[in-house]
């Protein structure tokens, strides 16, 4: 376990020279990891399922064939002497031996490819969240070294002589401190550390931490208890899935993607809160990434994630034109998400907060579509093609245009604006 923690918090000197290390780089790494495990699960999940189905089919074919041969053998023995229905002891032994030999030839491979893949993907997902926690702690203590001024560290003279500079010794002490925090604290205590010691909000009204705790405890069952439910799991999670002690936990497709969504939201909001406190000089990029995440979740039809991320963004007070633009786009994405869920009353509430008087034609188009006002769309599209560089590809792909593409007459008119 300690070796695993070492790999989490340590990087080579070469990596430190090449890479800009800040909260944004931690953010990029986390989402690369999240998206890669999702891609892995999607790509190989169907292959694993197909292989399992093939194994089941072969097993069924074997049993069907075995049953047919057994039935034929029984008929042969029965018809051997129609005047005598009895079977001799020798004939019965021969018959049973044939059956035993037949079943010894059955396929030995069990259909568990999908289960193995889903569990390995699930474990990777948990690991990436652990790495995120470690990376954020490591960055904080490296940037704000004064926070450890009152901390007592013990050094032997031999250890001290191993360092060439005070800076090198300091970095190593910080690595050891982060290691000890991660090893010694439970998951709940780590969260409290962020909240109490680092003053980072856990956004408890948006993040379902109880669901994440259940995910973490299920991970422990898979790794340490052969996937068997025990008393510790039930007491720590309040048993939301009504398991009994001795039950086997599984990772099906639906559960995996719910877990992925929980880790995505928790990770991004935790990162954004750290970003806002620790790297304030780079805050424009943080607001931009919030906008990007709402758009990506909108494209992926993760509407609940869109709404929660947009709710989180309401606490941001834009301080320049770029941030105002990002916040406006976030609000539009929120309205699209709500409209996709047929929450018309909530859509109206969001639209009241969106002022598009001086906005570009594209924003006016979005506002009109969401308000179901279609009269001025042709003119606005003509303007947006010039001003906003709106393309036919964007029209065919962006979620906002779903609401007009499905209306045949309006769609024909709007398509023609790109042909002028």
**Region of poorest pLDDT, from 107-116, 138-147, 270-279, 312-321:** 107-116
pLDDT at 200: 97
Is the pLDDT at 132 greater than 90, yes or no?
yes
Q: Enumerate residues 6+ apart whose C-beta is below 8 A from 174.
A: 138, 141, 142, 145, 148
Q: What is the pLDDT of residues 15-31, one digit of tens each?
A: 444 567 899 999 999 99
The tokens describing 156, both together, are: 């032997």
**Mean pLDDT along residues 328-346:** 95
Q: What is the rounded CA–CA span in Å between residue 405 and residue 375? A: 15
Q: CA angle at residue 200 from 305 to 29, to 5 degrees?
A: 60
Is the pLDDT at 371 greater than 50, yes or no?
yes
DSSP secondary structure string, 331-387?
A: HHHHHHHHHHTT-HHHHHHHHHT---TTS-HHHHHHHHHHTT--TTHHHHHHHHHHH
The Cβ of residue 417 has, within 10 Å, a number of other Cβ atoms equal to 19
Is the pLDDT at 108 greater than 60, yes or no?
no
Is the pLDDT at 13 greater than 80, yes or no?
no
Report yes or no: 321 and 278 within 8 Å, Cβ to Cβ.
no
State the pTM of this model. Answer: 0.78
**Region of poorest pLDDT, from 62-76, 221-235, 300-314:** 62-76
**Helices within 204-320 (DSSP H only):** 209-224, 231-237, 253-278, 283-299, 303-313
Is the pLDDT at 77 greater than 50, yes or no?
yes
Confidence of residue 195 (pLDDT cuts 50, 70, 90): very high
């Amino acid at each position: 376990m300690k070796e695993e923690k070492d790999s989490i918090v340590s990087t080579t000197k070469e990596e430190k020279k090449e890479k800009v290390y800040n909260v944004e780089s931690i953010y990029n790494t986390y989402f690369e990891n999240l998206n890669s495990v999702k891609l892995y699960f999607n790509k190989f999940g169907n292959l694993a399922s197909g292989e399992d189905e093939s194994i089941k089919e072969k097993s069924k074919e074997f049993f069907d064939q075995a049953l047919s041969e057994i039935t034929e053998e029984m008929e042969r023995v029965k018809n051997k002497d129609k005047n005598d229905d009895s079977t001799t002891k020798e004939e019965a032994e021969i018959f049973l031996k044939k059956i035993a030999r037949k079943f010894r030839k059955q396929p030995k491979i069990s259909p568990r490819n999908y289960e193995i893949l889903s569990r390995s993907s699930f474990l990777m997902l948990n690991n990436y969240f652990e790495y995120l926690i470690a990376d954020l702690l490591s960055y904080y203590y490296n940037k704000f070294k004064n926070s450890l001024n009152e901390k007592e560290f013990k050094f032997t003279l031999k250890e001290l002589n191993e360092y060439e500079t005070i800076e090198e010794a300091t970095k190593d002490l910080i690595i050891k401190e982060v290691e000890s925090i991660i090893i010694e604290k439970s998951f709940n205590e780590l969260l409290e550390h962020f909240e109490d010691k680092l003053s980072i909000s856990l956004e408890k009204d948006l993040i379902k931490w109880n669901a994440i705790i259940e995910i973490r405890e299920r991970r422990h069952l898979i790794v340490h208890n052969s996937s068997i439910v025990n008393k510790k799991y039930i007491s720590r999670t309040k048993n939301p899935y009504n398991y009994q002690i001795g039950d086997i936990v599984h990772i099906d497709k639906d559960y995996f993607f719910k877990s992925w969504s929980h880790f995505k939201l928790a990770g991004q909001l935790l990162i954004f809160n750290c970003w806002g406190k620790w790297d304030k000089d780079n805050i424009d990029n943080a607001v931009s990434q919030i906008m990007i995440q709402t758009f990506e979740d909108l494209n992926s039809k993760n509407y609940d994630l869109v709404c929660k991320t947009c709710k989180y963004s309401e606490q941001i007070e834009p301080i320049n034109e770029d941030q105002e633009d990002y916040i406006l786009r976030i609000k539009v994405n929120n309205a699209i998400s709500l409209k996709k869920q047929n929450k018309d009353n909530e859509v109206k509430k969001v639209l009241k907060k969106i002022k598009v008087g001086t906005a570009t034609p594209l924003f006016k188009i979005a506002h009109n579509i969401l308000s179901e006002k279609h009269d001025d769309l042709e003119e606005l599209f003509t303007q947006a093609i010039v001003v906003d560089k709106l393309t036919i590809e964007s029209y065919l792909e962006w979620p906002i245009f779903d609401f007009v593409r499905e209306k045949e007459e309006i769609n024909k008119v709007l398509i023609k604006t790109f042909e002028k």
